[in-house]
Structure 1
Amino acid sequence: MTKLKNVLRCYAMGMGIKGISGAFELSRNTVRKYVRAYQDSGLPLEKVLAMSDEHLHEMFVGSKSRVREPSHRRAELDALLPEYASLLSRKGVTVRELFEEYERQHPDGYRHANFGILLRRYMLQTKVIGHVEHYAGDQMYIDFAGNRLEVTDAVTSEVKRVEVFVAILPCSHYSYCEAVWSQRKEDLIGACQNALHFYGGAPMAIVPDNLKSAVTRSDRNKPVINEEFAAFAEHYGCAVYPARVRHPKDKALVENAVKLMYRSVYADIEGLTFHDLVSLNNAIRVSLDKFNDRRMASRKHSPRQLFEQTEAGYLRPLPAIGYQMKERKTVTVMRNSYVTLLKHHYSVPKEYIGKRVDIVYDAETLDIFHGLRHVATHHRDDTPYGYTQKPSHNLPGRHGSYEKDIDEIFERAASIDNIVLVYLKEVAVHKKYPPIAFRSCRGILSLEKKFGLERLVAACACASQARLYGYQDVLDILEKGDDADFLPSADDCDTGGEAPVLPRHKNIRGRDYFSKSIISNNLKKDNNGNK
């Protein structure tokens, strides 16, 4: 009635019918109706304005009802609409099938177009949708789009279909979109984490659909949340509040956001070819930024502006360390003291061979536990059939490359004498095959323990001069004493010094042995002659 009173005031001030109609956005016929009723009443304006709303409604609008009694065929259809609405909710039932059934029973009834309009109008009246108030920083809706995108392998040209993750903050309508390989919990958690970092904060709750990677068992009162997804939400201080089963209106905004992604992001990248997920997500981000900067219908702001003004300050800060998803697997330590995870082998100490251990791993590291005892930590390596070993485990056998090990032998030889280093390098060249070269060089250096450092250097010099390259050659030189001329004391012998003392060995008898043997044989002959 406020508009009616303003119309009367303007008329009393001398404004015309056309001016009043434009000022109050009323049809001219409506304005004329109000003016005629005012003129017919003969009452002064002050008295009319002082009337109650009910009196004004009765005076200017009239008490006659414009509602007409429904026709006979409308009454027949109205009686059938509840049953038709119930049937239409069943899977596979269409409006066309219901109309054909109605037409058989009532050939003089409504046609298909009017039948559909009246049926849908009835369903809208019986299924009233309540308004949901969205608060800043309260919830984040997440969902996967029904239409997937494609990534083409650059080498094999194989086309892989990827899922599209969509998130939205309902208060500001600020949206996020990302392509992931699948709907598994690893990809879902990673996408949710990226969405939180995109928003720069965490809401109070995450509202997912009832997919298995987020909800293990759906229940109206107490749904069972996936343990890994619940741990992720707890890390960021969020609650998990799943939507009800078969109630998409519980998260209608994200359902609508998916449709908007079809019209914006999907349309922008249509016809383009992407060879990896990174390039696809870069293209999605460019299109997403344009979408969030676009002014919303019937509003003065874009989603980004509305987010920065009303919601950014209400999101809780993110933790300094991101969430690392960990998984657990129980395995038995093999006889070679290794455990296997995703076709890769990791070492453990020998005392755990044959025992059951737990592997707790994430994308970067894995920890091995025996009961409550921590056994080992390794950097994760997904190379199939590879081996990762720690030197501290002291496992039997060789580990590492021969090239690296022989370089270490060369470093040790250089610390002894340059003669040994040059000789070992010549041995490595002549042996050609790295394992044989490594074994020969290692054996030559081991002779130091038995014959001493000086004799080893002299034997290498002797073998190099004789062009003999191998472990057995150096050992023969040492056992026969052929290295005597290359010892530092050989110079002293040439100047009248003492002769070098040969080492004692069971195969080196020496002069004294043979002298004693000759004397013993002569004594035996003398005794026989006396007899």
Structure 2
Amino acid sequence: MNTVQQVGLMYRQGVGIKAIARNLSLSKNTVKKYLREMELINSTQEEGDCRTDIDLASNEEHPDECKSRLDILQEYFPDYGNLLKQPGMTLQVLWQRYKEIHKDGYEYSQFCYHYQKYNVTRQAVMHFEHEYGDRLYLDFAGKKVSYVEQGTGEIIDCEFFVAVQGGSQETYAQACLSQQKADFIECVQDALFYYGGVPKVLIPDNLKSAVTKASRYDPTLNEDFLSMANHYQCTVMPARSLKPRDKSLVERHVSILYTRVFTKLHGRTFFSLHELNEAIGKYVEEHNNMLFQGKEYSRRILFDTYEKEALSPLPATRFELKDFVFATVMKNCHVQYRVDKHYYSVPYRYIGEKVKVAVGASTVEIYLKNNRIALHARDRRPYKYTSVKDHLPSGHQYVSEWNPDKFIQWGERIDPSVSEYIRKILDRPAYPETLYRGCSGILQFEKKAGKSRLVAACKLGLHLQSYSYTFIQGVLSRNTESIEIEEAETTIEVEHENIRGNAYYQSLFN
């Protein structure tokens, strides 16, 4: 054993094989054998080794001459992987090119042997210890499941979604209609609520629903998928493109579920997606409760014992997929969501700013530079306005409160006749805001002309059936509200073709 160690020590120090054999009284073949056992040289190293004490200095000037045939061959191997991907390229073609350059090189069988051995060393894998509550692996199976549409008899193919916890390997699976963003996000949420908690990291594949632009170093995540991750307070770390070992755990479980779920679904007919998922859930539960081979525990036992308590708690509500659009705040302090053609208010200080509008099924959120500046309940009525009083300037706030009840109650506080006159104005077939302005002008006369005069003018208007701001303004400006009302009360109706009558004079005030 000491001799073997000496051989290795001297070789590492740069002593040639011939010198080692001479100093230790061994044959060169014995030295090579010991070095092969210690994996310090390759078994196919040539009989002659140029690393001798005598030639050491001259070899430094001609390093290529010191290389063995294997060293020269192995320099080509890193490029062969990409070359073999080209159409029509084979190992035999590469060997022929190699032999044209190196006439004394390896023959085809040895050439293939060394290349295969080189590939084996490149395929070494690392054992990875998964922490409980750390990672959730997500993937879609390559094969599909299906159900029959009961009304039409059409066969509906469905995607098969799989999620696996890294620590316990607790598995969740369900069928969905597609791999589109909405279906994928819904599947991930269903998995999180199935586990009853949130891991630190989600590891999806590079499908478009999760990754907009794949990159080995800095992938661009789908904005909606990232919003969902932010809602659940977890991060997203997509697997690298063409690197299935980054998510080998879920890849392996997909293969297992082919056996434990797909084979049991075979031959059965389902008439709805819900019915199909009920069957899948039953078989996945059996899979999770099955003991590991040679172990006394199952995935479910590991999950309940260790993983579940390591997960972060779920938020109070599920994530709501939103439609994101950009809009400019108009001068009336509103933005329009074009899909519903509805308007939502924004604080007036943001007039002219370009904001992001996030529209969900029940809410509308408005953001400026990632800060939420407005929140509304969604209203799908077209061409209507949803406004918050505090969003408007003080002058606009007053106008925004205009409605029929406001003016009727205002008139009632002055006098019932004033309230009745306001009702008559509001009953006119005109644009509401025009009527509101007229009502506001009439009621303002309480301060300008006095309460008693306004009441008298409204009574006159009711008697003459003349309902307008212009009528009240004319009567009060001429100070004729009392005179005219007395005359009106004592007037005797006379019918004659030369008498114009009340209708003519009413038209002058309207």
Distance 2:256 2:460 in 1: 85
Secondary structure at the residue paired with 1:141? strand
Secondary structure at the residue paired with 1:413? helix
Please name the residue that 2:251 is paired with. 252
Instruction: State how 1:111-260 maps to structure 2 within 5 Å.
Output: 136-145=132-141, 147=144, 165-169=161-165, 172-177=168-173, 183=179, 188-189=184-185, 191-219=187-215, 222=217, 224=219, 226=221, 228=223, 229=225, 233=229, 236-238=233-235, 240=237, 242=239, 245=242, 247=244, 250=248, 251-256=250-255, 259=258
Please say if 1:377 is aligned against 2:369.
no
Residue 360 (structure 1) shift: 6.2
Residue 453 (structure 1) shift: 1.6
> Deviations for 1:125-183, whole angstroms, at most 9, x for unmatched residues?
x999998776643432212356487999x9xxx99998664323355453334566764
Distance 2:233 2:320 in 1: 12
Instruction: State how 1:294-305 maps to structure 2 within 5 Å.
Output: 294=286, 304=300
Whether the 8 Å contact between 1:170 and 1:253 is mirrored in structure 2 is no
Residue 455 (structure 1) shift: 1.2
Whether the 8 Å contact between 2:169 and 2:299 is mirrored in structure 1 is yes
Secondary structure at the residue paired with 1:192? helix
Residue 418 (structure 1) shift: 2.1
399, 409, 415: which one aligns with 1:411: 409
Distance 1:92 1:268 in 2: 43
Please name the residue that 1:56 is paired with. none
Residue 186 (structure 1) shift: 6.0
Please name the residue that 1:463 is paired with. 461
Whether the 8 Å contact between 1:440 and 1:470 is mirrored in structure 2 is yes
Residue 226 (structure 1) shift: 1.4
Residue 316 (structure 1) shift: 4.0
Please name the residue that 1:270 is paired with. 270
* One-letter identity of the residue aligned with 1:291: Y
Residue 204 (structure 1) shift: 4.4
Distance 1:135 1:416, change over 3 A: same
Whether the 8 Å contact between 1:230 and 1:240 is mirrored in structure 2 is no
Distance 2:155 2:479 in 1: 73
Please name the residue that 2:282 is paired with. 290
Secondary structure at the residue paired with 2:198? coil
> Deviations for 1:332-354, whole angstroms, at most 9, x for unmatched residues?
4456554445545444566765x
Instruction: State how 1:399-438 maps to structure 2 within 5 Å.
Output: 405-429=403-427, 431-433=428-430, 435=432, 438=436
> Deviations for 1:201-232, whole angstroms, at most 9, x for unmatched residues?
23343221111333344455x35251745675
Distance 2:346 2:234 in 1: 36
Whether the 8 Å contact between 2:133 and 2:166 is mirrored in structure 1 is no
Distance 1:335 1:265 in 2: 61
Secondary structure at the residue paired with 2:136? strand
Distance 1:159 1:401 in 2: 55
Distance 1:160 1:445 in 2: 67
Residue 389 (structure 1) shift: 3.9
- Greater Cα radius of gyration, structure 1 or 2: 1
Please name the residue that 2:445 is paired with. 447
Whether the 8 Å contact between 2:208 and 2:222 is mirrored in structure 1 is no
Distance 1:385 1:180 in 2: 36
Please name the residue that 1:312 is paired with. 308
Please name the residue that 1:39 is paired with. none
Secondary structure at the residue paired with 1:142? strand
> Deviations for 1:465-498, whole angstroms, at most 9, x for unmatched residues?
34433333433443454532799xxxxxxxxxxx
Distance 1:151 1:390 in 2: 49
Distance 2:329 2:306 in 1: 56
Residue 416 (structure 1) shift: 1.8
Distance 1:284 1:240, change over 3 A: farther
* One-letter identity of the residue aligned with 1:270: F
Distance 2:349 2:126 in 1: 66
* One-letter identity of the residue aligned with 2:270: E
Whether the 8 Å contact between 1:151 and 1:162 is mirrored in structure 2 is no
Whether the 8 Å contact between 1:136 and 1:311 is mirrored in structure 2 is yes
* One-letter identity of the residue aligned with 1:175: T
* One-letter identity of the residue aligned with 1:142: L
Please name the residue that 2:5 is paired with. none
TM-score (norm 2): 0.51
| Greater Cα shift, 447-456 or 378-387 | 378-387
Distance 2:441 2:467 in 1: 12
Distance 1:446 1:265 in 2: 78
Distance 1:217 1:480 in 2: 78
Please name the residue that 1:357 is paired with. 354
Whether the 8 Å contact between 2:327 and 2:357 is mirrored in structure 1 is no
Aligned residues: 352
> Deviations for 1:71-129, whole angstroms, at most 9, x for unmatched residues?
xxxxxxxxxxxxxxx9xx99999xxxxxxxxxxxxxxxxxxxxxxxxxxxxxxxx9999
Whether the 8 Å contact between 2:344 and 2:385 is mirrored in structure 1 is yes
Instruction: State how 1:496-515 maps to structure 2 within 5 Å.
Output: none
Distance 1:324 1:178, change over 3 A: same
Whether the 8 Å contact between 2:175 and 2:277 is mirrored in structure 1 is no
Whether the 8 Å contact between 1:424 and 1:441 is mirrored in structure 2 is yes
Distance 1:445 1:266 in 2: 79
Please name the residue that 1:475 is paired with. 473
Distance 1:212 1:438, change over 3 A: same
Q: Where in structure 2 are there 5+ consecutive unaligned residues?
A: 1-80, 89-119, 486-510
* One-letter identity of the residue aligned with 2:244: H
Please name the residue that 2:51 is paired with. none
Secondary structure at the residue paired with 1:294? helix
Residue 409 (structure 1) shift: 0.9
Secondary structure at the residue paired with 1:202? coil
* One-letter identity of the residue aligned with 1:379: H
Whether the 8 Å contact between 1:206 and 1:238 is mirrored in structure 2 is yes
> Deviations for 1:297-317, whole angstroms, at most 9, x for unmatched residues?
666887655632453234344
Residue 285 (structure 1) shift: 6.2
TM-score (norm 1): 0.50
> Deviations for 1:414-451, whole angstroms, at most 9, x for unmatched residues?
2222222233224434x255636545534432333432
> Deviations for 1:398-424, whole angstroms, at most 9, x for unmatched residues?
99999x711211121122222222332
